[in-house]
Amino acid sequence: MTEPRRDRLDQPREPGRVQLPKFNPEAFGRWSESIARYMGTAKFIVYMTVVIGAWFAWNTLAPEHWRFDPYTFTFLTLILSLQASYAAPLILLAQNRQADRDRLAMEEDRRRAQLQKADTEYLTREIASLRIALGEVATRDFLRSELARLADELDDAALRREKRARMEWEEDHP
């Protein structure tokens, strides 16, 4: 069964959803982060203060027919409310993206910590096995002490042989 073409005029449209324009959420997220980052600077606060001060000055000091926002500053209130209504979601979106990045970084840190722990445990086991193996290996000091002991025994044996040989000679030659 083929799907009916939507651009045909001889067939009625299927009831369904309204097609909204598509946008790239990543690009929109980057854009919202740049706006939120800019709104968090002293530069933005200074510019906003200058604009509001100029607005107040113009609408209070300018001639009556040049003023565009009378004394109650209703238009300024509307503009600031509109700016706040857009700023809040953009800031929240930027915070959510930062939280996602933080979560990914934390997962990566956790993964690396697990790998380092596994490496450390492996190295600990290897060092322990080397210590056990070294416990069965003769060290240089042990070999020296054994050789010195053997040399002393050989010297003692040589002295005993010499003493016995002298005694036998004295017995044979009175």
121 or 174: which leads in pLDDT = 121
Output the average pLDDT for the chain.
87
Tell me what pLDDT residue 6 has.
Answer: 59
Q: What is the DSSP letter of 91?
A: H
Domain residues for the domain of 173 are: 140-174
Question: Which pLDDT band holds residue 125 (cuts at 50, 70, 90)?
Answer: very high
Residue 16 has pLDDT above 80, yes or no: no
From 88, 83, 85, select the one nearest 36 (Cα to Cα).
Answer: 88
101 and 59 inside one domain: yes
Residue 114 has pLDDT above 80, yes or no: yes
In a domain, 38, yes or no: yes
Locus of tokens 């005029």: 9
Q: Give the chain's radius of gyration (CA, Å).
A: 47
Domain count, the chain: 2
Mean pLDDT score, 94-111: 94
25 or 46: which leads in pLDDT = 46
Q: Domain boundary residue among 67, 87, 108?
A: 108
Residue 108 has pLDDT above 90, yes or no: yes
90 and 44 inside one domain: yes
Mean pLDDT score, 112-130: 95
Report percent pLDDT > 70 for the chain.
94
Residue 151 has pLDDT above 90, yes or no: yes
d(CA 35, CA 95): 12
In a domain, 173, yes or no: yes
Q: Domain boundary residue among 108, 132, 158?
A: 108
Biggest alpha carbon–alpha carbon distance for the chain: 155
Residue type, 165: A
Tell me what pLDDT residue 160 has.
Answer: 92
Cβ(75)–Cβ(67) below 8 Å: no
In a domain, 18, yes or no: no
d(CA 145, CA 52): 93
Residue type, 156: D
Q: Domain boundary residue among 92, 108, 124?
A: 108
Cβ(125)–Cβ(117) below 8 Å: no
